[in-house]
Amino acid sequence: MGAAAEESHSDGISTTFDTATHSKRFDGIRPALRELGYIEGQNIVIERRYGEGKSDRLPQLAAELARLKVDIVVAAGGTTAVLAAKNATGTISIVMTGQGEILSKQGL
């Protein structure tokens, strides 16, 4: 394994999805993380925050991840999730999922 196995990372996920939906989606990511040397609970901590379908909760969830000082924030669930993450931090990298051209019009 590479450098990943030697370092510890903390990643945050902020999503409008509910716990069950997101868990199914995340199951596909775990094998890829393992291939890169990341094993949850050993050298990576993934802080999950769920909006449970309520996008108005996203600013609070993103702010909580920023306070935890995660290394990256994965914003899933549309423009609202990405803008909430952007407004919560100016220093943490944000990974956007499935956003497309809409966000480029927002200057992101």
Consecutive 10-residue averages of pLDDT for the chain (108 residues):
61 74 75 90 88 89 94 86 92 80 60
Amino acid at 50: Y
3-102 domain in CATH 3.30.1360.20? no
For residue 44, the SS3 value is strand
| Long-range CB contacts (within 8 A, 24+) of 36-43 | 36/2, 36/4, 37/1, 37/2, 37/3, 37/4, 37/5, 38/4, 38/5, 38/9, 39/5, 43/4, 43/5, 43/6, 43/7, 43/8, 43/9
Q: Which helix (H) or strand (E) holds 104?
A: helix 101-105
- Residue 21: what pLDDT? 72
- How many Cα atoms sit within 13 Å of 19 on the Cβ side? 1
- Residue 19: what pLDDT? 74
Q: Tell whether pTM > 0.85.
A: no
